[in-house]
């Protein structure tokens, strides 16, 4: 859900600010100047001051911005102030890593259900989460109010899994399968393609 009143370019940068601010908070930093935040974000301090002016006053001249308050306000602007429930499909190695990733919980994401089609995995627990039959996906997603799907299955199964998620009403999909999912309009997809990232890095380095 987009917010009105904040320009799209500012919204794009809010994600960058939030990430940097969370890193500072983790280090115990309580106040930050626009120039220090600019350095952490690789942006200009004047742009940061302008962007933050959309929220009113956070800074005290000579002291800087309050890190905790800024995080709270940016989260609210990005609709991240309530827990977002996600469904994980694929109880393999990537799935296990995601279930044990502490960052999700801290940032307001909760993997609320985990599905697989493999009879050897269904009914077992993966990092404390019961693996359910993918046949139950639609009903469970609707019952739990899940908005986000995570596709962590092999490439050959990914398009079918994504279709099932969209059919269950999920509007946002994070996929670890390096292929195009051809989703209907209205369903947003982000693909985490590690091999392509590495190939690009190596080519340009």
Q: Which is nearer to its own copies, 107 or 133 (CB)?
A: 107
CB of 135 to its own copies, least distance (A): 24
Considering all CA atoms of the chain, what is the largest pairwise distance in Å, rounded to the nearest integer? 62
**What binding mask, one character per residue, do residues 113-152 give for its own copies by CB under 8 A, x or -?**
----------------------------------xx----
Residue 101 makes contact with its own copies by CB under 8 A: yes
What is the DSSP pairing of strand 59-60 with strand 188-191? unpaired
Residue 6 makes contact with its own copies by CB under 8 A: no
Length of the chain: 205
Number of residues that bind its own copies (CB under 8 A): 59
Site for its own copies, residues 8 to 37, rule: CB under 8 A: 11, 15, 18-20, 22-23, 26-27
Site for its own copies, residues 151 to 180, rule: CB under 8 A: 155-156, 171-174, 178-180
Residue 195 host element (H or E): helix 194-204
Of 9, 119, 185, 195, the one binding its own copies (CB under 8 A) is 195
Of 1, 61, 119, 128, the one binding its own copies (CB under 8 A) is 1
Residue 94 makes contact with its own copies by CB under 8 A: yes
Q: Rounded to an integer, what distance in angstroms lies between the CA atom of residue 178 and that of residue 24?
A: 33
Of 48, 86, 114, 151, the one binding its own copies (CB under 8 A) is 86
Q: Rounded to an integer, what distance in angstroms lies between the CA atom of residue 149 and that of residue 76?
A: 22
Sequence-ordered strand ranges (E) for the chain? 31-32, 59-60, 64-66, 84-89, 109-116, 125-126, 129-133, 148-151, 172-175, 188-191
Of 7, 60, 97, 124, the one binding its own copies (CB under 8 A) is 97
Q: Which is nearer to its own copies, 108 or 133 (CB)?
A: 108
Question: Cβ atoms within 10 A of the Cβ of 44, count?
Answer: 12
Single out the segment in contact with its own copies by CB under 8 A; choices: 50-58, 59-67, 134-142, 194-202: 194-202
What is the DSSP pairing of strand 109-116 with strand 129-133? parallel
What is the DSSP pairing of strand 59-60 with strand 64-66? antiparallel
Nearest to 55 by CA among 109, 17, 1, 106: 17
Q: Which is nearer to its own copies, 93 or 120 (CB)?
A: 93
DSSP 187: -
């Amino acid at each position: 859900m987009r917010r009105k009143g904040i320009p799209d370019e500012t919204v794009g940068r809010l994600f960058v600010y939030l990430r940097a601010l969370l890193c500072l908070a983790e280090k115990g930093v309580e106040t930050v100047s626009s120039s220090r935040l600019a350095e952490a974000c690789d942006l200009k301090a004047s742009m940061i001051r302008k962007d933050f002016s959309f929220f009113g006053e956070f800074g005290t001249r000579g002291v800087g911005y309050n890190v905790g308050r800024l995080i709270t306000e940016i989260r609210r602007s990005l609709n991240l102030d309530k827990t977002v429930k996600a469904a994980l499909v694929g109880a393999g190695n990537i799935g296990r890593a995601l279930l044990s990733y502490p960052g999700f919980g801290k940032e307001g994401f909760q993997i609320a259900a985990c599905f697989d089609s493999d009879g050897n995995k269904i009914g077992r627990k993966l990092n404390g989460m019961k693996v359910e039959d993918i046949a139950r996906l639609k009903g469970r997603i609707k019952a739990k109010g899940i908005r986000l799907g995570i596709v962590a299955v092999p490439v050959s199964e990914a398009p079918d899994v994504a279709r099932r998620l969209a059919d269950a009403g999920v509007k946002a999909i994070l996929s670890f399968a390096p292929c195009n999912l051809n989703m209907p309009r209205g369903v947003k997809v982000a693909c985490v393609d590690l091999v392509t990232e590495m190939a690009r890095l190596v080519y340009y380095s």
